[in-house]
Amino acid sequence: MNSVASSVVPLETQNFLVPNATFWVELIAFAIIVFVLARWVIPPINRAMTARQDAIRKQFTDLEQAQAEARKAEEEFHAQIANARHEAAKIREEAREQAAAITAELREQAQAEAARIVEHAHTQIEADRQQAVTSLRAEVGKLATSLAGRIVGESLEDQARQSRVVERFLSELEENSEAASAPAGAN
């Protein structure tokens, strides 16, 4: 028993605040591990983290540029749409103006054609009237000469005499028709 008692150091003799050899070995092992980590493990991790942070920053920068380009493209798109609408409105207005001009031109042409047709009709009517008057004069002249010859009892075959009689008869007829139409028009 003595041998066991002598090998065991009483607790009273060891002070737990005083470091022993185990502490120094643990401290050196810890320092070696920290050195190894600081020398070969942490720098690649830091480089990877820095690279990842740079990549993320670049992605954010690219994203901001893409957003700016998208906004710019959207603004250009809206501007182009506004321009297209403006051009469409301008084209519609020009088409309306052209349609109005064509309509006015066609209306003028139709009025001119109508006026020409009316003028031609008046001319034709006047020509027909003159032809009818000439024909009636000749016919009335023959009838008047024949009637006057019967009344007077002598022949009015002389051309000059016949013309004077016809003219006098027709002028009397015209005076009578004008006198008859004047009171009717005055009412």
- The pLDDT tens digits for 132-182 are 888 887 787 777 777 777 776 666 566 777 777 778 877 888 888 888 777
C-alpha distances (whole Å) from 118 to each of 103, 115, 123 are 22, 5, 8
Residue 125 contacts residue 158 (beta carbons within 8 Å):
no
pLDDT of residue 37: 95
pLDDT of residue 153: 60
Please report the DSSP string for 16-71 in residue order: TTS--HHHHHHHHHHHHHHHHIIIIIHHHHHHHHHHHHHHHHHHHHHHHHHHHHHH
Q: What is the mean pLDDT of each run of 10 residues along the chain (187 residues)?
A: 51 71 92 96 95 96 95 95 95 95 94 93 90 82 74 66 75 82 60
C-alpha distances (whole Å) from 26 to each of 22, 31, 40, 48, 80 are 6, 9, 21, 31, 76
C-alpha distances (whole Å) from 149 to each of 69, 98, 128 are 116, 74, 31
